[in-house]
């Protein structure tokens, strides 16, 4: 049952909810009027299924995500755990910036809690990709931490664009999307990204190293696109 609207994105609305006496979140995928009704219904169902499967598979391999309580294909709703006492990594990084905690170690040594955060993100993404799960929309807004924030594990959310893929190319694109999102949302975060990627490669062995190699190729293509359109 839907309660108060908490937020809305391009694909869905998130509501407060309840499931068998537990606090929950209800993610409602709304229809897109510009699509043919049959196509829209198919896409919505597939994305609901993909998200539920990805969230469940993550938990099976030891990556924390919200627990899936139910999927309703008639109302296009995903009912899941509400992670209490949590904030997004994006907001945590803003909090660090407000407190003048350093992100880049070129001029001032990077703060230990920032290094720790970057390392944890890199490690959990390496585990994600080791299990061939592509998130599809990695940003610091799609990661949560719970109190106490500095010692919290990373909780991944919003798998609506996820897929199961083995190719290093797709994993590299996943990382590239995150890299661009971090550098755009968090000024002077180059050092943070470097530590994140070092942790990713260290945790994932040869396969992760192959993905980093592909990431360099994806970056080059991105720069060429910016230069030449």
- Domain containing 209 — which CATH number? 1.10.510.10
Sign (positive or negative) of CA dihedral 184, 87, 158, 213: positive
Sign (positive or negative) of CA dihedral 69, 83, 135, 127: negative
Distance from C-alpha of 203 to C-alpha of 44, rounded to nearest angstrom:
34
Question: What mean pLDDT is predicted for residues 32-50?
Answer: 88
Specify whether 92 is located in the same domain as 188.
yes
Question: What mean pLDDT is predicted for residues 98-117?
Answer: 79
Question: What mean pLDDT is predicted for residues 170-194?
Answer: 95
What residue has token string 């919505």? Answer: 44
Domain endpoint, select from 81, 99, 124: 81
What residue has token string 């979140």? Answer: 25
Q: Which one is catalytic: 40, 105, 137, 158?
A: 137
Question: So what's the pLDDT on residue 228?
Answer: 40
Q: Tell me which residue of 52, 5, 49, 45 sits closest to 25, measured CA to CA.
A: 5
Specify whether 157 is located in the same domain as 134.
yes
Question: So what's the pLDDT on residue 227?
Answer: 42
Q: How crowded is residue 36: how many other Cβ atoms within 10 Å of its Cβ?
A: 9
Is residue 4's pLDDT more than 60? yes
SS3 per-residue string spanning 38-73: HHHHHHHHHHHHHHHHHHHHHHHCCCCCCCEEEEEC
Is residue 167's pLDDT more than 90? yes
Question: So what's the pLDDT on residue 106?
Answer: 61
In the annotation, is 158 catalytic? no
Domain endpoint, select from 20, 47, 81: 81
Tokens for 20?
A: 């068998």
Is residue 71's pLDDT more than 80? yes
Specify whether 41 is located in the same domain as 93.
no
Q: Tell me the whole-structure pTM to 2 decimals.
A: 0.91
**Upstream peptide bond of 148 is cis (omega within 30 degrees of 0):** yes
Tokens for 68?
A: 């899936």
- 31 is in which domain, residue-wise? 2-81
Is residue 225's pLDDT more than 80? no
Specify whether 94 is located in the same domain as 153.
yes
Question: So what's the pLDDT on residue 10?
Answer: 82
Question: What mean pLDDT is predicted for residues 99-110?
Answer: 70
Output phi, psi for 146, to 5 deg.
-115, 160
Q: How crowded is residue 39: how many other Cβ atoms within 10 Å of its Cβ?
A: 10
- Based on its alpha-carbon atoms, the radius of gyration of the chain, rounded to whole angstroms, reads 18
Specify whether 56 is located in the same domain as 102.
no
What is the torsion angle, in degrees rounded to the nearest 10, for the CA atoms of residue 50, residue 54, residue 55 and residue 57? 140
Domain endpoint, select from 81, 98, 123: 81
Specify whether 116 is located in the same domain as 158.
yes
Question: What mean pLDDT is predicted for residues 49-71?
Answer: 97
Count each helix (H run) and each strand (E run) in the chain, helices first: 5, 10
**pLDDT bucket at 31, cuts 50 / 70 / 90:** confident
Q: Convert the pLDDT of each residue in 5-28 to its tens digit.
A: 999 888 899 999 999 999 999 999
Question: What mean pLDDT is predicted for residues 18-40?
Answer: 90
Please give the share of the chain, as a percent, with pLDDT higher than 70.
93
Query: What is the domain count for the chain?
Result: 2
Specify whether 210 is located in the same domain as 182.
yes
């Amino acid at each position: 049952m839907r309660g108060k609207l908490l937020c809305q994105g391009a694909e869905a609305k998130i509501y407060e909810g309840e499931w068998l006496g537990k606090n929950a979140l209800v993610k409602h995928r709304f229809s897109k009027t510009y699509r043919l009704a049959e196509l829209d219904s198919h896409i919505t169902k597939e994305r609901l299924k993909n998200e539920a499967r990805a969230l469940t598979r993550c938990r099976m391999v030891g990556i924390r995500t919200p627990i899936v309580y139910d999927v309703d294909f008639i109302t296009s709703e995903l009912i899941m755990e509400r992670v209490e006492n949590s904030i997004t990594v994006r907001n945590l990084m803003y909090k660090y910036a407000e407190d003048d905690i350093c992100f880049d170690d070129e001029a001032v040594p990077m703060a230990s809690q920032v290094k720790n955060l970057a390392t944890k993100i890199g490690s959990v993404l390496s585990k994600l990709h080791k299990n061939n799960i592509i998130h599809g929309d990695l940003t610091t807004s799609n990661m949560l931490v719970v109190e106490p924030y500095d010692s919290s594990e990373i909780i991944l959310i919003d798998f609506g664009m996820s897929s199961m893929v083995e190719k290093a190319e797709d994993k590299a694109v996943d990382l590239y999307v995150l890299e661009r999102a971090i550098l755009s949302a968090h000024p002077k975060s180059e050092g943070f990204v470097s530590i994140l990627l070092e942790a990713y490669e260290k945790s994932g062995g040869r396969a992760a190293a192959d993905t980093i190699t592909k990431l360099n190729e994806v970056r080059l293509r991105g720069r060429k696109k910016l230069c030449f359109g």
